[in-house]
Structure 1
Amino acid sequence: MRVSSRFYWPSMYSDVQQFCATCPICQKTAISRKSDRALLQPLPIIPTPFRRLAMDIVGPLVKSSQGHQYILVVCDYATRFPEAFPLRNITTSSVMQCLVQLFSRTGIPDEILTDQGTNFTSRLMQLFHKQLGITSIKTTPYHPQTDGLVERFNQTLKRMLQKFVDDTGRDWHRWLPFLLFAYREVPQASTGFSPFELLYGWDVQGPLDLLQKSWEDSAIKTKEEGRSVVQYILEMRERLQNYRDEAELHLQKAQKMQKTWYDQHARHREYQPGQKVLLLLPSSTSKILTKWQGPYMVTRKISPVTYEIEHPERKKKKQIYHVNLLKEWKEQVTQPVKATLVVGQPEKEAVGRPWGVACLPWGMPRPMGGAPNLKGASQVREKGSDRECCMLHGPAWPCVVLTGSFRMAPPPIGAADSRLQAR
């Protein structure tokens, strides 16, 4: 520590540590660590298909030949079955038309999880949800991990689309159903089944199955011939139930493994209403600008990992944020105690670094930095104080007297014996 090579006062290390920890600029520019994130809070598992949906919008993309620039993506939490609709614009009415098409095939869900985009939070969309009895769940700003299911599918869909756009040009909207088919027939690591299996109860017949048939040069006769409709429905219902029970076990196991891995580098954090925190907000103008902003006031706790924060200077005065975007604000607390600091620099035979003497109100001056032999003494009286301190220095050392604020600390053992008595 550079201070210790020049100066000394009791509790110096803890004082410097506290000063650095409460530095406003340092707190706002500090890099976030993995250990700063909160413990993982998985969403409850939904066993029934299309009861909870996750919804997001991908884009803007390369404009297709039909003018489509966006894709509305909807994923089912129970089966991981995805739906995607090409859009020319992302207005609330366009999103609602796609949802009506989806609900006509899957039924009306209980919950829909979205981000806080205006097309999902508008009054028209709120009225739409209210009329259908749908509970709208919103993710916190700048925390896409809450909607991780649809975010992961978005990345997969973008990579698949990129390959098709390179080959087919601007007709990517025509290939979207084929990309969805390819995704739906692949077993998911989290469930152990493909989305198609969990939704319909049997393996989908894809291009590879048709290729196998052509090689075998014989049609595979179905075993369902001669069975009654009632028997077929009962067997189908039993098969679906077995698939979904096993998929739920896979999901529970996957969630447990993910939470164990995630929580290795996480810790529990909690803030109280009225406490000041810093808020991590991205800066799009420059990478060197401060990302941590504030301090702001915590107004209330919404859940174990979400808090309502008040920021008067923003358009939305109060907003809910995830705890991973918050950091405790440490106030600088100073207890001013007047002291005299004498810093000397020899006229001759410089010793490489200055020699400093800190004179505390209760104790002896402590020379630091390898001072030369002391042959004389002078006295410096603090202005406005009856206390007189004796500051030793070499006679050839011109002294500059500075005053500053130091935190009062109890004297070390034996300090009373070494104090200079006021004359």
Structure 2
Amino acid sequence: MVALLEKQTIEYCHTCDRCQNANKSTGKKFGLMIHIQEPKSPWEVVHMDWVTALPSSGYKGYNTCLVIVDRYSKTPIFLPWHKYNTAINTDLLLWIRVISHTGLFKNIISDRAPKFTYSLWTNHHRFFGTKLSFSTAYHPQKDGPAESMIQTLAYMIRRFCAYGLELKHSDGFTHDWCNLIPELELAFKTSVHSSTGQTPAMLEKG
């Protein structure tokens, strides 16, 4: 009886409609046609990407999330954002919320999303000596840990949205995925990473 129940549970998990719809496709992905020099300290090299097509969240109606990952420590930063925000807005967000705390990057690795290739964005970062490295479609990936982080966050957010979960305070205000970002970020930072054997927080802060 127990064996049968276990088998049925496994089959259900593998065929759950909501889980399959929420899971990220594992088909051919974007990679990088570049050589990445491994950093020797935190926030020298970062990876950036977007989690997109998210439902409107919070009173500001966030519908995308900018994901930034430090290649050295694997420390992530998740920034809820709007798909209609310009490259200028995104550049300001990055400087105010990230660079003002981490210092200037030596290398930013990203795909060729319009916000990352806009002239103001590229000129601004290159003026400060930051190298911009762009991915090329279907080239073998070299951004493994960062891509994994991005996929995991996207999976967690979409799974949360797929089940329509809500957290309500006594005031009746509904807090959805954007309000879970701080907790998700903390969970990532304080969990041992398989490639380093340590937590991102320990490698970043010591």
Aligned residues: 162
| Match for residue 41 of structure 2 among 37, 43, 48 | 48
Q: CA deviation at 1:144?
A: 7.2
Number of the residue aligned with 1:200: 205
Measured in 2, the distance between the counterparts of 1:83 and 1:178 equals 11
Gapped regions of structure 2 (runs ≥ 5): 1-33, 168-174
Q: CA deviation at 1:44?
A: 3.1
Number of the residue aligned with 1:82: 76
State the identity %: 30
Equivalent residues of 2:46, 2:105 under 8 A apart: yes
Paired AA for residue 73 in structure 2: T
Measured in 2, the distance between the counterparts of 1:79 and 1:155 equals 18
Measured in 1, the distance between the counterparts of 2:45 and 2:178 equals 26
Higher percent of residues as helix: 2
Q: Cα deviation per residue 1:51-108 (whole Å; 9 max; x = unaligned)?
A: 0111111102111132111100000011000001001125212321221020111100
Taking a change above 3 Å as real, the CA distance of residues 43 and 119 of structure 1, as seen in their structure-2 partners, is same
| Match for residue 65 of structure 2 among 71, 88, 109 | 71
2:134 aligned with 1:141: no
Number of the residue aligned with 2:160: 164
| Match for residue 175 of structure 1 among 172, 177, 180 | 180
Q: CA deviation at 1:42?
A: 7.0
| SS in structure 1 of the partner of residue 142 of structure 2 | helix
Number of the residue aligned with 2:149: 153
Number of the residue aligned with 1:317: none
Q: CA deviation at 1:151?
A: 1.8
Number of the residue aligned with 1:97: 92
Number of the residue aligned with 1:185: 190
| Match for residue 128 of structure 1 among 104, 124, 128 | 124
Gapped regions of structure 1 (runs ≥ 5): 1-40, 202-423
Equivalent residues of 2:74, 2:146 under 8 A apart: no
Measured in 2, the distance between the counterparts of 1:181 and 1:162 equals 18
| SS in structure 2 of the partner of residue 112 of structure 1 | strand
Number of the residue aligned with 1:18: none
| TM-score (norm. length: structure 2) | 0.72
Q: CA deviation at 1:46?
A: 1.2
Measured in 2, the distance between the counterparts of 1:93 and 1:187 equals 35
Higher gyration radius (CA):
1
Measured in 2, the distance between the counterparts of 1:49 and 1:110 equals 11
- Give me the CA root mean square deviation: 2.1
Measured in 2, the distance between the counterparts of 1:97 and 1:147 equals 25
| TM-score (norm. length: structure 1) | 0.36
Structure with larger RCO (C-alpha < 8 A, sep 6+): 2
Q: Deviating runs (4+, > 4 A) in structure 1?
A: none
Measured in 2, the distance between the counterparts of 1:63 and 1:146 equals 32
Higher percent of residues as strand: 1
Equivalent residues of 1:139, 1:147 under 8 A apart: no
Measured in 2, the distance between the counterparts of 1:85 and 1:198 equals 21
Measured in 2, the distance between the counterparts of 1:80 and 1:108 equals 17
Number of the residue aligned with 2:16: none
Measured in 2, the distance between the counterparts of 1:143 and 1:87 equals 28
